[in-house]
Structure 1
């Protein structure tokens, strides 16, 4: 794995770090700030909403000023906002600073995808994105474990101090080690008309929208799991917060292994074939979890089995859908990466908000939202596939005319 790809993985991992690391601290935060835990859970939804909005800004900036400068600005903002979160004295200020933190962390989600497509073609990009998940996937395993230990050693505020340190270190790495990958002749003007034209082209592109939503709705299911897992594992099934990270990490491990398997299979199979098969499994596992919940047969081992199947399927869906969505967007890669990421975060914020508002004494909110996200992801993938078929048929017809 080349050094630039490792750095891109570390930058992309900053988002999962800020999402996952404070999950074991939800109960402590609610007690200290004297608010219901649902309000603390909504700080996660506010962070996802901030990520969705901010990515729309970083795309045009990355296409105009290159990849390094927006990254450096975003990492600086993330570091400052993390320090502000650590010193917040009420839930209102914490929620507001989480949005600012998201506006900084969004740079680490937009720019790495654009850098990968600067260097690689579609098949290679799918493989690189799968390898990127190996780096990114370490964070969902380590972050809750680190967060749980930080809460035990100090308080939930130490979690945000650690996030600030991570942002500062990554900013230093970008400053010292990252080379600009966008050539000057490929940069696009930062004009409102150009930006609107690019976004309009992408919104009208059926393949881009279909594959972006296929990946985004699968990601929304992951965020529903992230937001709902502390309540399900800790409150409903009585898992100690110190061991919560192990269960959380087991599901993340399924994501990592599946993503690496996907990268190997791409040597013999097309990204679209892998995506279609993985989405079928995605739907199957989530509907099984929902059926077991409605029948009253669900327990922790069965729930974990379904969640592991869901996460493994998402290990195939995420990188292949992203590579397919960006395949035809060469002149506007930064903007396409931003819009794709924003749609993912909007879907994730909606799923996380649904989980925070729907509380019962069973895993039903989690399993129902997961099933809905999986079904919508499957439908979106079919929409993108129809575009590819029409494009292939049109190309074949043109060849016959020639």
Structure 2
């Protein structure tokens, strides 16, 4: 997810795009001190932005293994617990939409510090929540502040880097940030073994304090007053309307958004399927969750290696077919075979691995369709993905803790919708067909 600013007229060279191929890194890195405010992309700055990017998956994945216990302790059903994911994801989506334009007007540093402080306070509220309703509200605020911090953190990097340097830095952030979904559930399971599920939110609050200090120490103001603009949300809305008139962009929006929905049907429901229905311990579940996240990370790295060597659309299609087959197998197992453990684990692994082929590539091709509005296109993509995640989470749990049928249906529909987006809405025009 990148900044919603399109950098029009700022004199900053755009990153090049190659439709249906890859991002180009053919522009030279800026000289030291050439960026706004004469700041540099230091190792400490990159580490801080990685930290900001990782907080959302940590805040979610540390908490997922505890879903059955949260339901019991707060007297809530499976769908109500999953609604705490919905409110978090909706907050993330709104925070990313709003945070970028506000930082374009007010600068980066102060709004970023404010977002991290609010996220820490919301995490404390989650830790102390007496009811599921309070938990939902606190998670909404936590997600909003987290999304706000993420989009500004990425904007800081885009302010300072261009061309090859920007590509390298963003790849480092994505690679290191991809470890969060692996570490999060393992850390959450250890917390459950040694203490109470509420401790995971105290940990996130503590990380927020550390993050605020890191921002104050390592993140300079990268958008000087003379480069700020007053367009804000109005300018963003105007660019958004233009972007959404692009049929192929909308197709790739459907590709990535539908795949995200299928993925979060798994995230929201897998703890009940594997623990409540099949008896896995929190530790065993978290190891399986981490292995699946590892499969997704490896698939994304493979896709990155294939970029420029293999056309991107077939790579996406391979992932979609794999996800669809996993969903169909899961549905058959849920309806006729009471969701056996081995089948569920294999289907979840295939689904997660397929997401590594679909999501990043779909987002890249979406951006390639709107090179004149890269920030707006990326903001809308992130918004759609997080709204899809938040909408799907409670729907996947409609059957309660004893059935995987709703989740499997969503896996199938999500994969099918993603394929429609690729093959119908985003089909190449006659002159660009490969």
TM-score (norm 1): 0.86
- What residue in structure 2 maps to residue 389 of structure 1? 429
1:346 and 2:395 correspond: no
Alignment of 1:26-175 (within 5 A): 26-65=67-106, 67-111=108-152, 119=161, 132-175=173-216
Q: Deviations over 1:249-300 (max 9, x none)?
A: 1111101111111121125234334223322322233223323433427421
Q: Specify the SS of the correspondent of 2:244.
A: helix
Distance verdict in 2 for CA 1:65–1:287, change over 3 Å: farther
- What is the CA–CA distance in structure 2 between the aligned matches of 1:345 and 1:366, rounded to whole Å? 18
The alpha-carbon deviation at position 218 of structure 1 amounts to: 1.1
- What residue in structure 2 maps to residue 359 of structure 1? 400
Deviates more, 1:65-74 or 1:258-267: 65-74
Q: Deviations over 1:1-38 (max 9, x none)?
A: 98455544332221111111112222332333233343
Could you list the runs of 5+ residues in structure 1 that have no partner in the other structure? 397-402
Q: Deviations over 1:139-179 (max 9, x none)?
A: 22221221122233231221111011222222332332235
The alpha-carbon deviation at position 183 of structure 1 amounts to: 7.8
| Greater fraction helix | 1
- What residue in structure 1 maps to residue 416 of structure 2? 375
Alignment of 1:276-315 (within 5 A): 276-296=317-337, 298-315=339-356
1:205 and 2:254 correspond: no
- What is the CA–CA distance in structure 2 between the aligned matches of 1:391 and 1:184, rounded to whole Å? 44
TM-score (norm 2): 0.80
Q: What CA RMSD, in Å, does the superposition of the two structures yield over aligned residues? A: 3.1
Distance verdict in 2 for CA 1:62–1:217, change over 3 Å: farther
Contact 1:215 1:377 in 2 (8 A): yes
- What is the CA–CA distance in structure 2 between the aligned matches of 1:391 and 1:384, rounded to whole Å? 16
Distance verdict in 2 for CA 1:383–1:149, change over 3 Å: same
- What residue in structure 2 maps to residue 400 of structure 1? none
Distance verdict in 2 for CA 1:267–1:111, change over 3 Å: farther
Q: Deviations over 1:98-127 (max 9, x none)?
A: 1111111112443455566664669x85x8
Deviates more, 1:269-278 or 1:342-351: 269-278
Contact 1:198 1:332 in 2 (8 A): yes
